[in-house]
């Protein structure tokens, strides 16, 4: 074998703390290395061309590039060597940037480590085999999980792009958090007027199949060929017949349960359509509160229903779909502010969340759009807004900024003045974060035109006095304590990962960060991709986001899906497990341990059981290779021999030393 | 108003406060929650959050000569409320120690009372209230301070006429000796 080694400077990223010339000189002496050199930017156009030229000039049949992480440029260099006429798996990468130059300052020791990493790469390359990917058909259908504004946008864009879409929503109606909002910043346009038409489009689009009150049960398969099982929860109403007339809601005698759509500000009947613009506009029974489900008698809704669609015996239904791509748009949940003792932990009914306040402002809310405080229904004249409740606070493990609270608080302060002209708003804030188009002007308007008094400081205590709540905080700009007696206190609660996000992430093999938000493939260059091919992210499931950003990401994810599904076939990764039948004893241990069900037992022509790998299903995790007692199953490109060669290159066996002593 | 020259930040002062309080003062982002909860803000010359900021700016003299560090009651409201888990009361405490060491006592009476208290504890193993009062009056010259409370306290038998030594008084004394041997002066 004739190996070429290229040591990249990466400008000063590597060359600053690694003697790249010395590394190249050392590499030239390694076995089967025919050519070694250093190069300024291996990934650049001239850098790649130099590799191609060197391959031709020195008749190389294997290439090692020592540069950055393979996650960055392995695909780049594989294409380069392929262009030079070599199988792309005769390429190895030594990571001397992230693993060496960026983490160590000692040039001498960095250089030694870089040489060792290059030696390992060379030793592995000497044992590489040419691998040829197989091709398989792509299922032209996309699954969108979550029917908030990001999921709606992704679903509509994919469907308009000609692809079949399956949209799964956990709640009864799509719309997500945006459907609960009154107005949106910075234009003060009505939230449901903007979102409503999009929701209707989803409901009517011939390419979109909508499953609400449904969750993802399991996901198997791989990019282009996912098999997804959806659990449609029993709703005890035959939705093929229900017309959404709402008669059942009026007659239902069980109406004490808090209404989740109105954030618990009022109650809802046990059979309910969450809001007038719901899509689909169908009634569903909450079995936890329904008298018939709990006590076995009542059935008033069944008697009154004009189309006889009530079915108390309905069971959960499992639906299986094949899809080629998945968009995750599961959104966020609100921080549980009861963790803060200083805001009363729920003792004071007139301390409410910002989303509850949205429902009070909304014309379709429990008060018909008149601001009435929960305790006595009085119109509040003094409203205090407290920002950063569950944001930028390490003591409650939420050190991140939720991003949109500054803006919606300014909006709510403006709307408060609009609703009650003789009211006064006070906003306790730490910093105003309004870096969007027209955003800062908007917060200034709240202060300058609507007279909201902004107070820079946190609130340390709320206590009742008469029928008011005294809010004590600080004004750090004046360096004083401040107090204000409020009729209503609105907490700008921050965003946290949606409940169940981590469990869903496990099913999808998408990694959540420490707070439960899904991690994108690259923070700048792959913002909607995940490290699982074919699974994309949109909206606040990746991190707190406002509506424009969520919609943008929904469209971005759709673009990625459309690009993927525009191909009829995809190449499978040939780095999969392979069985040597002569060594396999048919014990079946690999079949049991494979997390993807990619190995099956077959009989050879003598009737002996033998393991066989389904190449398109295998993900190349390597669990089977360490399970096999015979060493009969090996992961291509990462065989035991290759890994041991790397280990030996790093720690050469010292048998001779033992003999000498 | 005085102009603070940012370049004259006393880095040694910042480092010393950090080391002695075991707190990372850079995590303070001036949210003001300490000031918001502090029950003594009304007598302070600099609010707690301002003291924290002045330490961040390395303003040794301003901090060590301020009244607030002496008036702090160590109630720990600030520590409880701090979103960055800074033990603010501890920082105030450390500043008070450092002020003492450098001969500052902006609130002289607070220092005298603390001294009298410690003397009483050293002698009796616990506070002997009447002796402590006498000691304080003697040093401060504030004869009539709280004298109106004496009849009430006496009636409730809260003021003993004789000191009541505790068991293990010598051990308390040894704590004081060990402290003095440590080289720190009061």
Question: Which residues does chain B have within 8 Å of residue A388's beta carbon, measured at their own beta carbons?
Answer: 31
pLDDT single digits (tens) A9-32: 999 999 999 999 999 999 999 999
Residue of B nearest to A431 (CA): B31
Q: Say whether B46 and A479 touch across the interface (CB within 8 A).
A: yes
Question: Which residues does chain A have within 8 Å of residue B86's beta carbon, measured at their own beta carbons?
Answer: none
On whether any CB of chain B is under 8 Å from the CB of A430, the answer is yes
Question: Which residues does chain B have within 8 Å of residue A343's beta carbon, measured at their own beta carbons?
Answer: none
Question: Which residues does chain A have within 8 Å of residue B29's beta carbon, measured at their own beta carbons?
Answer: 392, 430
Q: CA of B39, closest CA in chain A: separation in Å?
A: 9
| Interface list for B 20-79 with A (CB within 8 A) | 27, 29-38, 41-42, 46-47, 49-50, 77
Q: Say whether A481 and B42 touch across the interface (CB within 8 A).
A: yes
Residue of B nearest to A473 (CA): B36
Q: Say whether A479 and B50 touch across the interface (CB within 8 A).
A: yes
Q: Provide the token pair at A266.
A: 């009022």
Q: Say whether A460 and B33 touch across the interface (CB within 8 A).
A: yes
Which member of B36, B38, B49 has the closest CB to residue A459? B36
Q: CA of A32, closest CA in chain B: separation in Å?
A: 54
Whether pLDDT at A659 is above 70: no
Selection from A409, A501, A487 nearest residue A450 by Cα: A409
End-to-end CA distance of chain B: 33
Query: What is the predicted pLDDT for the residue at A540?
Result: 98
Task: Provide the domain count of chain B.
Answer: 2
Question: Which residues does chain A have within 8 Å of residue B81's beta carbon, measured at their own beta carbons?
Answer: 342, 458, 460
Let me know whether B13 and B87 are in one domain: yes
Query: What is the predicted pLDDT for the residue at A495?
Result: 97
The least confident of A119-133, A388-402, B93-107, B121-135 is B121-135
pLDDT single digits (tens) A481-511: 999 999 999 999 999 999 999 999 999 999 9
In a domain, B185, yes or no: no
Let me know whether B69 and B22 are in one domain: yes
Let me know whether B78 and B146 are in one domain: no
Beta strands in A354-506 (DSSP E): 382-389, 424-429, 453-456, 459-465, 468-475, 480-486, 488-493, 495-497
Which member of B33, B41, B42 has the closest CB to residue A458? B33
CA gap A412, A82 in Å, rounded: 59
Which member of A394, A472, A474 has the closest CB to residue B84? A394
Query: What is the predicted pLDDT for the residue at B47?
Result: 96
* 3-class SS of residue A444: helix
Q: CA of B28, closest CA in chain A: separation in Å?
A: 11
B76: left (phi over 0), alpha (psi -120 to 50) or beta: left
Q: Say whether A460 and B36 touch across the interface (CB within 8 A).
A: yes
In a domain, B1, yes or no: no
- A592-616 core/surface letters (b: 16 or more CB in 10 A; e: else): eebebebbeeeeeeeeeebbbbebb
Per-residue pLDDT averaged across A591-595, rounded?
92
CA gap A33, A122 in Å, rounded: 8
Let me know whether B11 and B83 are in one domain: yes
pLDDT bracket for residue A655 (50, 70, 90): low
Residue of B nearest to A482 (CA): B36
Let me know whether B113 and B96 are in one domain: no
Length of chain B: 186
A211 sits in which H/E element: strand A208-211
Whether pLDDT at A596 is above 60: yes
Give, in order, the Cα–Cα distances in Å from B10 to each of B19, B55, B56: 14, 9, 9
Let me know whether B55 and B122 are in one domain: no
Which member of A393, A394, A480 has the closest CB to residue B41? A480
pLDDT bracket for residue A554 (50, 70, 90): very high
Which member of A393, A394, A457 has the closest CB to residue B32? A457
Query: What is the predicted pLDDT for the residue at B157?
Result: 83
pLDDT single digits (tens) A317-373: 999 999 999 999 999 999 999 999 999 999 999 999 999 999 999 999 999 999 999
Q: Say whether A474 and B29 touch across the interface (CB within 8 A).
A: no
Whether pLDDT at A656 is above 90: no
SS3 percent helix, strand, coil of chain B, rounded to 5, is 60, 0, 40
Q: Say whether A476 and B35 touch across the interface (CB within 8 A).
A: yes
Query: What is the predicted pLDDT for the residue at A582?
Result: 94
On whether any CB of chain B is under 8 Å from the CB of A484, the answer is no
Which member of A430, A472, A479 has the closest CB to residue B31? A430
In a domain, B96, yes or no: yes
Query: What is the predicted pLDDT for the residue at A617?
Result: 80
- Residue whose entry in the numeric block shows the structure tokens 């809260």: B158
Query: What is the predicted pLDDT for the residue at B186?
Result: 44
Query: Of B32, B66, B101, which one is at a domain's C-terminal end?
Result: B101
Question: Which residues does chain B have within 8 Å of residue A456's beta carbon, measured at their own beta carbons?
Answer: 32
Let me know whether B97 and B17 are in one domain: yes
On whether any CB of chain B is under 8 Å from the CB of A337, the answer is no
Query: Of B101, B131, B155, which one is at a domain's C-terminal end?
Result: B101
Length of chain A: 661
Let me know whether B136 and B166 are in one domain: yes
For chain A, what is the largest distance between any 2 Cα atoms, rounded to a whole number of angstroms?
Answer: 97
On whether any CB of chain B is under 8 Å from the CB of A295, the answer is no
Provide the β-strand partners of residue A220: A227
Question: Which residues does chain A have within 8 Å of residue B23's beta carbon, measured at their own beta carbons?
Answer: none
Q: CA of A596, closest CA in chain B: separation in Å?
A: 44
Which member of B27, B29, B81 has the closest CB to residue A460? B81
Which member of A394, A395, A474 has the closest CB to residue B35? A474
Let me know whether B10 and B95 are in one domain: yes
Radius of gyration of chain B (CA): 19
> Which one of B42, B43, B83 makes the best mutation probe of the A interface by having the most chain A beta carbons within 10 Å?
B83
Count the alpha carbons within 13 Å of B7 in the hemisphere toward its beta carbon: 0
In a domain, B184, yes or no: no
Which member of B35, B84, B85 has the closest CB to residue A481? B35
Let me know whether B83 and B16 are in one domain: yes
Q: Say whether A395 and B47 touch across the interface (CB within 8 A).
A: no
> Which one of B33, B67, B80 makes the best mutation probe of the A interface by having the most chain A beta carbons within 10 Å?
B33
Domains, chain A, in order of start with CATH, read 3-125 (3.40.50), 141-233+316-331+498-565 (3.50.50.60), 247-304 (no CATH), 333-496 (3.50.50.60), 577-636 (3.30.70.3270)
Residue of A nearest to B46 (CA): A479
Whether pLDDT at A242 is above 90: yes
Q: CA of B78, closest CA in chain A: separation in Å?
A: 9
Let me know whether B87 and B116 are in one domain: no
Query: What is the predicted pLDDT for the residue at B164?
Result: 82
A248: left (phi over 0), alpha (psi -120 to 50) or beta: alpha
pLDDT single digits (tens) A261-318: 999 999 999 999 999 999 999 999 999 999 999 999 999 999 999 999 999 999 999 9
Residue of B nearest to A396 (CA): B83
Question: Which residues does chain B have within 8 Å of residue A342's beta carbon, measured at their own beta carbons?
Answer: 37, 81
Per DSSP, A528 falls in state S
Q: Which domain holds residue B33?
A: 6-101
Let me know whether B95 and B126 are in one domain: no
In a domain, B137, yes or no: yes
Query: What is the predicted pLDDT for the residue at B144?
Result: 83
Q: Provide the token pair at A289.
A: 């509160």
Radius of gyration of chain A (CA): 31
How many of the other CB atoms lie within 10 Å of CB of B24?
Answer: 11
A116 sits in which H/E element: helix A107-125
Share of chain A above pLDDT 70, in %: 99
Whole-structure pTM value? 0.85
Q: CA of A396, closest CA in chain B: separation in Å?
A: 8
Selection from A545, A516, A503, A511 nearest residue A530 by Cα: A511
CA gap A187, A550 in Å, rounded: 17
Whether pLDDT at A661 is above 80: no
| Interface list for A 368-407 with B (CB within 8 A) | 388, 392-396
Query: What is the predicted pLDDT for the residue at B184?
Result: 55
In a domain, B56, yes or no: yes
The least confident of A98-112, A396-410, A449-463, B120-134 is B120-134
| Interface list for A 301-320 with B (CB within 8 A) | none
CB contact at 8 A, A599 and A624: yes
Query: Of B56, B73, B101, which one is at a domain's C-terminal end?
Result: B101
CATH of the domain at B26: 1.10.1060.10
Residue of B nearest to A472 (CA): B36
Q: Say whether B36 and A461 touch across the interface (CB within 8 A).
A: yes
Question: Which residues does chain B have within 8 Å of residue A430's beta carbon, measured at their own beta carbons?
Answer: 29, 31
Query: What is the predicted pLDDT for the residue at B154?
Result: 85
> Which one of B35, B41, B48, B75 makes the best mutation probe of the A interface by having the most chain A beta carbons within 10 Å?
B35
Long-range contact pairs involving B109-115 (C-beta distance under 8 Å, separation at least 24) = B109/B140, B109/B142, B110/B70, B110/B71, B111/B70, B112/B136, B112/B139, B112/B140, B113/B140, B115/B139, B115/B186
pLDDT single digits (tens) A416-432: 999 999 999 999 999 99
Which member of A395, A461, A479 has the closest CB to residue B37? A461
Task: Report chain A's mean pLDDT, rounded to a whole number.
Answer: 95
Q: Which stretches of chain B drop beneath a pLDDT of 70?
A: 183-186
């Amino acid at each position: 074998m004739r190996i070429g080694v290229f040591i990249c400077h990466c400008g000063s990223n590597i060359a600053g703390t690694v003697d790249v010339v010395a590394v190249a000189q050392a590499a030239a002496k390694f076995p089967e290395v025919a050519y070694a050199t250093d190069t300024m930017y291996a990934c650049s156009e001239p850098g790649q061309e130099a590799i191609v030229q060197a391959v031709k000039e020195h008749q190389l049949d294997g290439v090692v590039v020592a540069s950055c992480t393979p996650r960055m440029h392995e695909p780049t260099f594989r294409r380069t060597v392929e262009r030079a006429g070599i199988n792309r798996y005769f390429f190895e990468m030594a990571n001397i940037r992230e693993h060496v130059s960026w983490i160590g300052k000692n040039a001498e020791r960095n250089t030694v480590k870089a040489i060792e990493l290059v030696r390992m790469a060379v030793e592995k390359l000497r044992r590489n085999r040419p691998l040829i990917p197989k091709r398989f058909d792509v299922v032209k259908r996309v699954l969108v999980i979550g029917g908030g504004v990001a999921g709606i946008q992704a679903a509509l864009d994919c469907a308009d792009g000609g692809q079949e879409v399956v949209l799964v929503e956990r709640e009864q109606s799509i719309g997500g958090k945006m459907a609960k909002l009154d107005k949106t910043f910075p234009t003060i346009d009505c939230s449901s007027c903007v979102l409503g038409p999009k929701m209707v489009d989803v409901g009517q689009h011939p390419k979109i199949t909508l499953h609400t009150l449904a969750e993802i049960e399991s996901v198997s398969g791989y990019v282009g060929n996912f098999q997804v099982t959806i659990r449609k929860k029993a709703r005890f109403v035959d939705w093929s017949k229900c017309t959404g007339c709402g008669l059942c809601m009026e007659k239902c005698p069980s109406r004490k349960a808090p209404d989740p759509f109105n954030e618990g500000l009022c109650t809802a009947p046990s059979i309910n359509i969450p809001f007038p613009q719901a899509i689909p506009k169908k009634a569903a029974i909450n079995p936890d509160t329904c008298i018939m489900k709990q006590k076995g008698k009542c059935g008033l809704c069944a008697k009154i229903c004009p189309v006889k669609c009530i079915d108390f015996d309905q069971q959960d239904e499992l639906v299986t779909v094949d899809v080629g791509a998945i968009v995750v748009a599961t959104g966020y949940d609100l921080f549980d502010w009861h963790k803060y003792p200083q805001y009363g932990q729920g003792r004071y009914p007139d301390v409410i969340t910002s989303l509850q306040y949205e429902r009070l402002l909304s014309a379709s809310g429990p008060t018909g759009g008149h601001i009435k405080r929960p305790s006595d229904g009085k119109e509040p004249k003094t409203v205090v807004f407290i920002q950063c409740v569950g944001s930028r606070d390490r003591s409650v493990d939420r050190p991140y900024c939720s991003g949109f609270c500054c803006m919606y608080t300014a909006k709510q302060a403006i709307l408060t003045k609009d609703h009650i002209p003789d009211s006064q708003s006070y906003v306790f804030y730490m910093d105003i974060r309004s870096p969007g188009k027209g955003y800062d002007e908007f917060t200034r308007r709240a202060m300058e035109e609507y007279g909201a008094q902004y107070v820079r400081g946190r609130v340390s205590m709320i206590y009742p006095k008469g029928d008011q709540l005294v809010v004590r905080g600080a004004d750090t700009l004046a360096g004083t304590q401040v107090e204000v007696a409020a009729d209503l206190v609105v907490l700008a609660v921050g965003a946290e990962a949606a409940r169940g996000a981590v469990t869903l992430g496990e099913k999808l093999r998408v990694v959540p960060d420490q707070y439960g938000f899904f991690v994108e493939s690259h923070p700048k260059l792959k913002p909607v991709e995940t490290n699982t091919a074919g699974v994309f992210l949109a909206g606040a499931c990746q991190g707190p986001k406002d509506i424009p950003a969520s919609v943008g990401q929904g469209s971005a994810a759709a673009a990625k899906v459309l690009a993927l599904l525009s191909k009829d076939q995809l190449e499978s990764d040939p780095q999969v497990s392979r069985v040597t039948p002569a060594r396999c004893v048919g014990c079946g241990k690999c079949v049991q341990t494979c997390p993807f069900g990619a190995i099956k037992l077959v009989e050879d022509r003598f009737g002996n059981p033998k393991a066989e790998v389904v190449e398109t299903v295998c993900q190349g995790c390597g669990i089977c290779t360490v399970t096999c007692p015979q060493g009969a199953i090996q992961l291509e490109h990462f065989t035991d021999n290759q890994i041991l060669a790397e280990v030996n290159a790093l720690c050469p066996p010292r048998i001779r030393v033992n003999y000498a002593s | 108003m005085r102009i603070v020259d940012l370049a004259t930040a006393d880095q040694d002062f910042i480092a010393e406060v950090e080391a002695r309080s075991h707190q990372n003062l850079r995590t303070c982002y001036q949210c003001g929650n300490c000031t918001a909860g502090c029950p003594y803000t009304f007598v302070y010359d600099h609010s707690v959050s301002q003291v924290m900021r002045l330490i961040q700016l390395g303003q040794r003299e301003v901090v060590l000569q301020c009244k607030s560090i002496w008036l702090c009651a160590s109630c720990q409201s600030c520590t409880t409320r701090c979103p960055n888990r800074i033990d603010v009361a501890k920082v105030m405490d450390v500043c008070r120690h450092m002020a003492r060491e450098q001969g500052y006592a902006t609130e002289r009476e607070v220092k005298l009372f603390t001294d009298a208290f410690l003397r009483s504890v050293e002698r009796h193993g616990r506070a002997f209230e009447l002796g402590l009062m006498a000691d304080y009056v003697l040093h401060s010259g504030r004869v009539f301070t709280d004298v109106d409370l004496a009849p009430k306290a006496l009636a409730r038998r809260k003021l003993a006429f004789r000191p009541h030594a505790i068991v293990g008084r010598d051990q308390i004394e040894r704590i004081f000796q060990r402290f003095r041997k440590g080289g720190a002066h009061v």
